[in-house]
Amino acid sequence: MKILIIDTESFRNIGGHFDHYFKNIILPNNEYVFLLANNNADLSHKQYIFEEAKADIILKKNKYFKKLSAYVKFVRLINKIIAIEKPDICHFLTGDFIFKFAGIGLKYAKKRCKVLITFHQIRTSRLRNIFRKIMFKNISMGVVHTVTILETLKRQKIFNVAHIEYPCFEGTSELSVSEAKEYWNLPADIPVLGVLGGTRHDKGLDILLEALKNVTVPFHLLIAGKEEDIKEDYINKAIVSYKDKVKMCLKILSDEEFKNAVMASDFIVLPYRKIFNGASGPLVDGVITKKTIIGPSHGSVAGIIKDNHIGYTFESENVNDLANVLNHALANEFYYDDAANKYVEYLNPVRFRKEYADLYKKLMNERNKFV
pLDDT tens figures, 54-93: 544 444 455 555 677 778 888 889 999 999 999 999 999 8
The per-residue pLDDT for 17 is 47
The per-residue pLDDT for 64 is 52
CA-CA-CA-CA torsion sign (224, 226, 228, 231):
positive
Q: Report domain extents, the chain.
A: 2-167+348-368, 177-346
The per-residue pLDDT for 27 is 86
Please list the rounded mean pLDDT of every run of 10 residues in the chain (371 residues): 84 53 84 85 83 50 63 88 95 81 86 93 86 92 93 94 90 93 96 97 97 98 96 97 97 94 98 90 94 96 96 98 98 97 94 94 80 50
The per-residue pLDDT for 59 is 42
Rounded CA Rg of the chain: 21
Length of the chain: 371
Amino acid at the residue 183: Y
pTM above 0.85, yes or no: no
The per-residue pLDDT for 10 is 55
Strand (E) positions, the chain? 2-6, 31-36, 46-49, 89-92, 114-119, 141-144, 161-163, 192-196, 220-225, 246-250, 267-269, 292-296, 311-314
The per-residue pLDDT for 37 is 75
Cα(140)–Cα(22) distance, rounded to whole angstroms?
20
The per-residue pLDDT for 16 is 43
Q: Which CATH architecture has domain 2-167+348-368?
A: 3-Layer(aba) Sandwich (3.40)
Cα(60)–Cα(62) distance, rounded to whole angstroms?
6
CATH superfamily for 177-346 is Glycogen Phosphorylase B; (3.40.50.2000)
Please check whether the two domains, 2-167+348-368 and 177-346, share a CATH topology.
Answer: yes
The per-residue pLDDT for 177 is 96
The per-residue pLDDT for 66 is 64
DSSP characters over 115-156: EEEEESB----HHHHHHHHHHHHSSSEEEES-HHHHHHHHHT
